[in-house]
Structure 1
Amino acid sequence: MPLKVEFQFDFGSPNAYLAEVAIPGIERRTGVKFEYVPVLLGGIYKATGNMSPFDSLRGIKNKPEYQALETQRFIRRHNITKFRQNPFFPVNTLMLMRGAVAAQFEGVFEPYFRAAYHHMWEEPKKMDDLEIVRNAFISSGIDIDRLIARAQQDDVKKRLIDLTNDAVSRGAFGSPTFFVGKEMFFGKDQLRDVEDSIVEQTRKPVPKTA
């Protein structure tokens, strides 16, 4: 069976955005395509008792500054030029994540995904305001009204909940989370290990000689 590699994301995570920018390079080098899996980060936090770095780092001396330094190092390493901090962060992404599942069901996930990330982290907007969301996606050529309507259907809502619960049951506690086969990796800074694991698990065994 081909190796299954998952990228579990929530549009509200800046680290998931930064990690995704590096994924195409890994795909080119390894020949393995990532599966993009929408999850509800808020649901994962609630199920695991975790919290966002925005909350967990508050009031800690020096650590937030170091985290910001590590982010800048990652941005330079991967030559990321479009990222902008969203002034409305944190943003409630329930509407966006249901839209991602609806877009997968409707076969328009790639343009929807690119537009969502663009308006969240490249030209940042308050992407939990319905009218702002509509105008943003319309400007990107997305039939957002169709997807908003589709996102209200029970199969979409159930699918997102199921994906989130499955992530937690397999060990996830935040985003971005990666699964390479059964191996889990958390955070953008683990991408080197993700790539190493892909190479290791797809390496063809050397035939034994008599």
Structure 2
Amino acid sequence: MSTQKMPVDRPKVKLEFFFDCLSPFSYMAHAVLARYCGPDGPWRDRVELELRPCLLAGLMSQTGNLPPMARPWSTAMAKFHRQDFERNKKLFNIESMLSMPSNFFGPEGPMDKSGLSRDFRLMRLLTSIHATQSELPPGTLYSATSLAFQLLWRREDARDQHGNVLLTTDVLRDLCEQSGMSREISMAYVEGINSPPVKSMLLNSVGEAVDRGAFGAPTIFCSRHIDEEEAIFFGSDRFEQLSFTYSLPWYGPDPHRSNYLPSKI
């Protein structure tokens, strides 16, 4: 893999990643960013990554967007979506990714509050960590985010015999502890996720994202200069376009996979 050195006077690209861990495409995009912006990633010295926990349900509600399975043509696209999901797992080199949790929606549909899509505690927890990350060990938000994605999309042991992911207080506390927090601090964060300030922070994140042009998750905002219009990228399949826009190296969704041929665009 060839390396491209960044000119000394070129500022880093500021990349804000608005995501919801319940979104499978947010998981795919996060996998790419973890590889490219990590310690041995090709963007490590060229991109300043900021994780921005958000709420997919809030983005869609405020913009009138609908989830794919709730659109009138969803039945006609079922075969495509099934094949597309399997192809993406291979393309993104995340073949151990699990299917959608059985309780993604409740028995009564997308608005059923018993479903994960209406359970906002996990994203409130990450929002609270984001807001106070300067008080926590470096990398806590990154670790907590990675663990949250794994909980929903990778861990078979996190699902019951019916394929449901159960978000209990113990599960959320363990996630915090595995991120590097003490048990006492972990409990404080979990106990605070239903507080008005934390709820407001998550809603404010949604409002900010919508005001800037977001309508779903993941949404990425990029800029290099303070006086330039920021660029917006939606979904997990716009990284090649992002790389082209900012003259960043691109080696496919997994830059460490040797059999990928870089695009000639």
Unaligned runs of 5+ in 1: 201-210
Q: 1:94 aligns with which of 120, 131, 139?
A: 120
Q: Which stretch has the larger CA shift, 20-29 or 37-46?
A: 20-29
Identify if the C-alpha distance between structure 1 residues 57 and 70 changes in structure 2 by more than 3 Å, giving closer, same or farther.
farther
The yes-or-no answer on 1:65 pairing with 2:97 is no
Distance 2:176 2:126 in 1: 15
- Partner deviation per Cα, 1:97-132 (whole Å, 9 max, x = no partner): 110012221533122212211111111544564346
- Separation in 1 of the partners of 2:51 and 2:127? 10
Please name the residue that 2:189 is paired with. 147
Q: Whole-Å Cα distance in 2 between the matches of residues 33 and 80 of structure 1?
A: 24
Partner residue, 2:146: 114
TM-score after normalising by structure 1 = 0.81
5+ long unaligned stretches in structure 2: 1-10, 106-115, 224-229, 249-265
CA distance in 2, matches of 1:22, 1:8: 14
Structure with the larger RCO, 1 or 2 (CA within 8 Å, 6+ apart): 1
Look up the match of 1:169.
Answer: 211
Q: Which residue does the alignment assign to 2:221?
A: 179
What CA distance in whole angstroms lies between the structure 2 residues aligned with 1:58 and 1:139? 43
Q: Secondary structure at the match of 2:247?
A: helix
Q: Does 1:29 align with 2:71?
A: no
Root mean square deviation, CA, Å: 2.5
Give 1:133's match in structure 2, choosing from 157, 168, 171: 171
Q: Which sits farther off after the overlay, 149-158 or 171-180? A: 149-158
**Matched positions, count:** 199
Q: Decide which structure has greater helix share.
A: 1
- Give percent identity, aligned residues only: 23
TM-score computed with the length of structure 2 as normaliser: 0.66
